[in-house]
Amino acid sequence: MKYRVLAGTDLNVSEIGFGVWSVSTGWWGDIPEEDGIALMHHALELGVNFFDTGDSYGAGYGEEIMAKAFKGNRNDIIIGSKFGYDLEAPRAPGTHKERPQVWDPEFVKKACESSLRRLGTDRIDFYQLHNPRLTALERDDTWAALEELKDEGKVRWAGAAIGPDLGWTEEGIYAIKERRAPSQIIYNILEQDPAAAFINQAEAIGVGLLSRVPHASGLLDGKYTRTTKFDANDHRSFRKQQWLDKSMTKVEQLDFFFDNKDATMAQTSIKFVLAPQIIASVLVTATENSQLEEFCGAVDMAELPSDHLDRLSGLYADNFGVGEKDRIKSSVAEDGFVSVA
């Protein structure tokens, strides 16, 4: 494993991070608790030290399973968690719609205390506003509450997880530039905007980034085709078939990019995300040991050929010939799906 410092902090995180949502939300299939714990143990064995969860993952379960997995190993890992959603607000069963968000200082402190209890720890290394709108990021009292938590030693560093879906340019730029907050963003071969703007801004002022969804919800790990059917509880089953067809049209033009006998499609996709040095860690979505081992192997890859990157840049600029790029700004994507992870 290789490690990078998250710029603006003293957190030395593994280039491959573990997205705990894969084993705690049911969005990638039902993962028995013992299997999820074993997978996180294996990640630690592979050198992964950054584990990113959130209080809304399984309404607290994503933090509770971490406490069980790393009891006795707390000092070996770096914990990222998130806050902002009112977990007591009802949500229709079987949906992935957002709960209401609350950013009052009292709520922030209460959410932190609850997360600490579920995690079984005395501090959260990287505590992030979860999918904040611009109005939340502009609240001085929210950031003041985070500073108080830092002074108390309950939070080491604060930042923002930008989302929930693509877009959110104002939010990302504001978090990075105005708050100088290390931020978690969506960035992958198929979804480079507006992340490219975030990367440029972060590099300019030295604010670190984390990236999630490196495989574009599985499209870039080599497993799916136009005829793939997802389980009913898999979050991708909520999207329209048009999403899969359009995405596969893009992927089918990338054979040249993945033409590497020494690396898999999934590894090449991760290497692309790690190219900007300002991105400290890529949060992978793994549900099996074999996946995890494959993903971790990406850190040893040679740099991607410049001619391949140039050709990809041209394809992306033309949106792979499938029409205008999606311009998603509101909390609901064009297909009505919202990912709150």
> Rounded to the nearest 5°, which phi and psi values hold at 268?
-65, -40
Residue 333 in domain? no
At 229, list the tokens.
Answer: 């059917």
At 290, list the tokens.
Answer: 């074999």
Residue 328 in domain? no
User: 3-5 and 12-14 as β-strands: parallel, antiparallel, unpaired?
Assistant: antiparallel
- CB distance 198 to 209 below 8 Å: yes
Give the per-residue pLDDT at 299. Answer: 97
Structure confidence by residue, pLDDT tens digits, 123-169: 999 999 999 999 999 999 999 999 999 999 999 999 999 998 888 99
Residue 167 in domain? yes
Q: 184: closest CA among 169, 162, 165?
A: 162
Our measurement of the distance from residue 94's CA atom to the centroid of its chain's CA atoms, rounded to an integer in Å, reads 22
Range of the domain at 287: 3-321
Residue 337 in domain? no
Domain at 223, CATH number: 3.20.20.100
Structure confidence by residue, pLDDT tens digits, 195-253: 999 999 999 999 999 999 999 988 998 877 777 666 655 555 555 567 788 889 999 99
Number of domains in the chain: 1
pLDDT at residue 52 greater than cutoff 80: yes
Residue 326 in domain? no
Whole-number Cα distances in Å, 174 to 11, 195, 288: 22, 13, 37
Q: What is the CA radius of gyration of the chain?
A: 19
Residue 132's DSSP bridge partners are: none
Residue 250 in domain? yes
Q: 17: closest CA among 273, 309, 302, 201?
A: 273
Residue 311: which pLDDT band, with cuts at 50, 70 and 90?
very high
Neighbours of 72 (CB within 10 A): 6
pLDDT at residue 10 greater than cutoff 60: yes
Candidate from 28-42, 100-114, 239-253 with smallest mean pLDDT = 239-253
Residue 204 in domain? yes
Give the per-residue pLDDT at 334. Answer: 30
Q: What is this structure's pTM?
A: 0.91
Residue 270 in domain? yes
Question: CA–CA separation, 231 vs 20, rounded Å?
Answer: 20
